[in-house]
Amino acid sequence: MDCPRWLPLESNPEVMTKFVTCLGMKPTWQFGDVYGLDPELLSLVPRPVCAVLLLFPVTEKYEAFKQEEEEKLKEQRQEVSPDVYFIKQTIGNACGTIGLIHALANNHTQLEFAPESALKRFLEQTSKMTPEERAIFLEKDESIRVTHESSAQEGQTEAPSLDEKVNLHFIAFVNVGGQLYELDGRKPFPIVHGKTSQDTFLEDAVEVCKVFMARDPQEVRFTIIALSKESC
Q: Catalytic residue positions?
A: 95, 169
Q: How far apart are CA 217 and CA 185, in angstroms?
A: 24
Q: How far apart are CA 195 and CA 176, in angstroms?
A: 10
Q: Which of 171, 224, 228 is nearest to 34 (CA)?
A: 224
CA distances in angstroms from 64 to 114, 185, 215, listed in the order given:
42, 17, 11
Q: How far apart are CA 97 and CA 147, in angstroms?
A: 10
- Phi and psi at 43, nearest 5°, equal -70, -15
Neighbours of 8 (CB within 10 A): 23
Q: How far apart are CA 53 and CA 50, in angstroms?
A: 10
Q: Which of 148, 191, 198 is nearest to 172 (CA)?
A: 191
Beta strands in 76-117 (DSSP E): none
| Contact between 57 and 149 (Cβ < 8 Å) | no
Q: Which of 232, 231, 230, 180 is nearest to 13 (CA)?
A: 230
